[in-house]
Amino acid sequence: MGDTVKRHGADTQQPVLAAKNVVRRFGGLVAVNNVSFDVRAGEILGLIGPNGAGKTTMFDLLAGSILPSSGEIYLGGVPVSGEAAHRRIGRGLGRTFQIPRPLPNLTLIENVMLAAQGQTGERLLANFLTPWRVAAEEKAAAKKAAELLELVSLNRLAHEPARVLSGGQRKLLELARVMMADPAIILLDEPAAGVNATLLEVIIDRIRDINESGITFLLIEHNIDMVTRLCHRVLVMASGELLCEGTADEVARDPRVIEAYLGGAA
């Protein structure tokens, strides 16, 4: 696929994901106001800011859950501002959510397999005309799903229903599920939220491992310790605008950031 974001051999001069002068209005409210930034291939980029800063709206815009009022979003250099979320998944964009919602009565391995892309068995006639191909693809998907569950340390629960998982384990399952679609970049929405300290260390380690394999991350997170440990760069939003960017230490010392967090910015 010529338009798909390049994977592990990505051109480091070409941003994996970019927002250019993006605006999103909801009636008279401007939730995102003229925001521009690039996500570089191979990095872990953090997006932080006080509650109401516009971070989640920005994620929804990047993922295609909502469309911008104006401005452009590029995925691997291709303009995708008008494309729906499923089209962006096909171009190499994955996303997790702050509150994971796996299918509770399916096993972990079944939940992960559901994210496999381009399966022949999705077409009804193919199940009758080429059953051997459908069976081979399903076998390969099950093998890959098992490997991903091992990667996120959930392999011992592979055949248990997802309803038995804790909140932190659900975050790990969602990470495995998004990896099933072979993303070039993953948008992580508050991976530390509601996670105990032990599982948080596992999540941090798995994000590092996946990033070292060549996958780029953009994450929203309120846990500043996690951001400091993981992120190569940090963007700060406040009141719908991009306030500043830099290393975690640089933005922590920026007076504008201090004012945004302590001065009551919404």
Place of tokens 């003229």: 34
Would you state the pLDDT for residue 11?
A: 44
Query: What stretches in the chain show pLDDT beneath 70?
Result: 1-12, 117-135, 137, 263-266
Would you state the pLDDT for residue 134?
A: 55
Where does CATH 3.40.50.300 sit in the chain? 1-101+183-266
Burial class (CB in 10 A: 0-12, 13-18, 19+), 44: buried
Would you state the pLDDT for residue 138?
A: 76
Would you state the pLDDT for residue 133?
A: 64
DSSP code at position 22 = E
Give pLDDT tens digits for 150-188: 999 999 999 999 999 999 999 999 999 999 999 999 999
Number of neighbouring beta carbons within 10 Å of residue 163: 11
Q: Which fold has domain 1-101+183-266?
A: Rossmann fold (3.40.50)
The rounded mean pLDDT for the chain is 88
Token code pair at residue 49: 């800011």
Residue 228 backbone phi and psi in degrees, to 5: -60, -40
- Backbone dihedral region of 214: left (phi > 0), alpha (psi from -120 to 50 degrees) or beta? left
Name the packing angle between helices 131-151 and 167-179 (round to 10°): 130
Residues in the chain: 266
114 contacts 101 by C-beta, under 8 angstroms: no
3-state secondary structure (DSSP) of residue 20: strand
Would you state the pLDDT for residue 261?
A: 81
